Structure formats: C-alpha cells, structure tokens
Amino acid sequence: MHHFYILGAALSQSTRFSKAILIAKSLLIGLAGSAIAYALNLPAAPLLGAMLATAIISWAGQKMSVPEQLRNVGLLVIGLSLGSGFTADMINDAQQFAVSLGLLSISIVLSMLASSWILARFWKQSSSTALLSSAPGTLSLALAMAAEGKGDSTTVICLQSMRLLMLAAFLPLLVSFMGAEGGAGAAGGQVFGWDVLAILTVLGVLLAFVFGRLNLPAPFLLGGMAVSAIAHIGEWAHGLPPFAIIFVGFALVGAASGARFANIARVDLVKNLGAAFASVAVAALVSAMFAILASALLGLPIAQIWVAYAPGGVEAMAAIGLALGFDPAFVALHHLFRISLLILILPIFVNLAAARG
C-alpha cells in the first residue's frame, strides 16, 4: 500500500511539473511575440504580439495554457492603467457620454442582428446559435446559454474566439493606418511610486473578489480600474504602473486569449473561418458608421469612438484604446456599458428566437 502511495505522489508531482512546463512555454512564446511586435513598432504590440504568437502555435497543433489567475494579473494591471484616465472634470462631460452611450446602444443591437442574419442566411445556423455567436464580448454568457441547449456550443466558442482575435489583430492596424493614434492617453506619462502601486494592487484585488461575487463582467479589470479611478479623481495618486509591468500585463492577457485556440479543433476553425470573417466585418462596419455619426455630433476623434464602439472583448478593446493613446476612461466605460447591456438583452433576444423556432 505504501508503494502505491509513493507511486501516486510521484505521478501527481510529474503531472504538476508537466503543467508548469506547459505554462512556462506558453508565457515565453507570448512574451517573445510581444517583443517581436514591439520591435516591429506594431500598434498595441504587447497585446497583439502575444495573442498572435500563442494563437499561431495553437493552430499548429501545440498545446498552450495560460491559467486564469495569470490572466487576472494582466487584467488588474490594465485596469490600474485605465483608471488613470479618470478625473474630477469628467462630470462636465456627462451629457457627451449620455449621447455617445445612446448611439452605442443602437449600434450594439443593429450589429448583433445584422451579424446573426448573415450567419443564419448564408451559413444556415439556427437563430439562437447565430445570436449567441454575434453578441460582442459576451463569451462566458453565450457559452452558458449554449450549454443550456439554446445554441451549438462548438460553433459559439469558435466564432466568438475568432471574433476576439480578428478585432484585436486588425483594429489597431486599421486605426494606425488612419494616422489616428492618440496622445499620452492617461496621466501624462507619470509613473506610480512602488508604494502607491502596492496599495492600489491590494485594494484592486480585494475589490475584484467583491465584483466577482456580484457576477460583474471582468472583475479584475473593473477592480483595478475602480480603485485607480477613485485615487485619481480624489487626487491621491497620479500616473500609470511602470512600463515593464504594463507590457507584461498586456502580454499575459494576449497570451491567454491566443491560447484559447488550443481547445478548438482545427477542423472547426477552418469550417467557421468564413462565417467569422463575414460576421465580424458586418459588425465592424455598423460600429464604424455609428462612430462617424457620434464623431460628427460630439466633435470627438472618429478613431477613438470606433475603438470604444468596436464589437470585441472588453479587456482587449480597453487595452487597445489605452495602448493607442486614446482617452482610457471613455473607451473603458463604453465597453463596460456594452457588456452590461448585453447581459440584460441577450437572454431576451435568444429566448424570442428560440420561441420562433
């Protein structure tokens, strides 16, 4: 019996070691991708480089793994960075925000309906599957509803994952080609002292657990952003985390997003590639049209509004907005609003579609 116990412990230790090696390999590939993208001066380089590197290796058939805990570290860092864009003067922009959020609401519904119609009409998906695949940035909710029998889970995760990758890969490039990168973005280039960073990190983690218990979207991103925003509005802190920490934070989130493709069969990726391109193109076009309208009404840069309206994941889009130097508070609030709105309306749309058969 003692020998069986020793054998079991050895196997368990070997499994843990193999898992640690896999995680280390995934992180090194992600960081290498970030470094290459940065050397090539690509926009949002740490995020984009890590995402593409791990996704390509996953497509090649290699296992990739970035634990949720490490992704949360990256999200917390990004949240702390986003919060530095909040100021006490933002109350003066409340009317501007209200108009923009109203246009975003219409854009969300129209882009989701247009994308789902494309998927149902040309790829013969059920109405429920098409809607769940078209809801921008709600992967967890969409998969949960698909698991309840309201859609095809494989198609949903495949299309949603490809949507995130396509938008994260192409949006920064399109914005850069427009010559529309922002300025310093947040906090004028100042850097947190290590004492301030430590305090905000601890408070951000605590608040993230509270938000997680409340089932709020992206709790670590939201927790970091909230404590940083409060500190900046109250003028208790000024600046961003050090560049190296922001770089690693972006890389962790990018690597986690790219590694997701390791769990999707290549045959499913190939089968759904055309559908993903079509649905993303339609949704991006609708969001671009509303960004042009909002820019004309509010006098804000089209590129900044487009990044704020883009139908991608809240973490990636907020990170891209920060990396491109746009107003981080504006971009982050719009994406958090989008996710909150979709959490409310997506079940209604899917249930109506299921009732119609």
Dihedral over Cα of 277, 279, 281, 287: its sign: negative
The span from the CA of 255 to the CA of 315, in Å, is 13
- Can you give the pLDDT at residue 197? 95
| Cα separation values, 191 from 34, 46, 212, 328, 329, Å | 22, 19, 28, 16, 18
- Can you give the pLDDT at residue 96? 81
| Cα separation values, 284 from 168, 276, 290, Å | 12, 12, 10
Global pTM?
0.87
CB-CB contact of 324 with 175 (8 Å):
yes
Dihedral over Cα of 11, 13, 14, 15: its sign: positive
Q: How many Cβ atoms are within 10 Å of 11's Cβ, its own excluded?
A: 10
CB-CB contact of 224 with 71 (8 Å):
no
Show pLDDT as tens, one digit a residue, over the chain (357 residues): 555 555 555 556 778 888 999 999 999 999 999 999 999 988 788 998 999 999 999 988 888 999 999 999 999 999 999 898 888 777 677 778 899 999 999 999 999 999 999 999 999 999 999 999 999 877 778 888 888 878 888 999 999 989 888 988 888 888 877 766 555 455 556 888 899 999 999 999 999 999 999 988 789 999 999 999 999 998 898 889 999 999 999 999 999 989 988 888 888 988 999 999 999 999 999 999 999 999 999 999 999 999 999 998 777 787 788 878 888 889 988 988 998 899 899 999 998 888 776
- Can you give the pLDDT at residue 6? 58
Structural domains in the chain, sorted by start: 2-356 (1.20.1530)
Residue among 94, 178, 101 nearest 332 (CA): 101
